[in-house]
Amino acid sequence: MKLLCDRIRKDGKALNESVLKVDSFINHQVDPQLMEALGEDFARHFQDRGITKVFTIESSGIAPAYVTARFMGLPLVILKKQTSRILNGNVYQTKVTSFTKGTTYQLTLDRKYIDPEDKILLIDDFLANGEAATGAATVIRESGAELTAIGILIEKSFQRGRRRLEDAGYEVYSQARISRLDQGLIEFLED
């Protein structure tokens, strides 16, 4: 998606071979005009799949996932990052380790907010190794619902996330696909 790639070229900061900072328009400061365009693009892309709910993982996917849900006229469900395991049976939970951030959490979904009939669109800001998305797929599968598709703002195509999700049978649509990063260098797959 040209709009996002252009914005990353302009305002993104590649710190090294793996870190791309998009703090000034996506993660820390959020540009609502850009988010509207991204959400509308996701809604258009996934409009004919019979999606019933939009899911995201807290917290930096919330803004684009919210806009997508609003354009699709659907509820948004935010998967929570809990620090510890909840021992009652009211939740679906799976442990996720983020290699990128070096953190571990229990990805948590209240059973009330998913039905076996649901067809879920998962939206997240980054796809790198695919740990978070795979965790989301696990809790969705556990409920009996279908993870119909995954929408990503920025894919690090040189990491294994997309392959891993596609090998597991999931469709992935990424608005910006980055083939290479280095200090001051950002290359896109389309370049």
Only segment of 1-9, 70-78, 123-131, 180-188 that touches a copy of itself (CB under 8 A): 70-78
Q: Are strands 103-110 and 76-82 parallel, antiparallel or unpaired?
A: antiparallel
Among 3, 62, 168, 189, binds a copy of itself (CB under 8 A): 62
Q: Closer to a copy of itself by CB, 32 or 169: give it.
A: 32
Residue 119 in contact with a copy of itself, rule: CB under 8 A: no
Residue 80 in contact with a copy of itself, rule: CB under 8 A: yes
Residue 36 in contact with a copy of itself, rule: CB under 8 A: yes
Residues 6+ apart with CB under 8 A from 176: 1, 4, 5, 8, 153, 154, 155, 188
Residue 85 in contact with a copy of itself, rule: CB under 8 A: no
Residues 6+ apart with CB under 8 A from 84: 106
* Phi, then psi, of 168 in degrees rounded to 5: -85, 0
Among 16, 29, 82, 183, binds a copy of itself (CB under 8 A): 29
Burial of 152 (0-12, 13-18, 19+ CB in 10 A): buried
Instruction: Give contact residues for a copy of itself (rule: CB under 8 A).
Output: 23-24, 27-32, 35-36, 58-60, 62-63, 66-67, 69-70, 73-78, 80, 110, 112-113
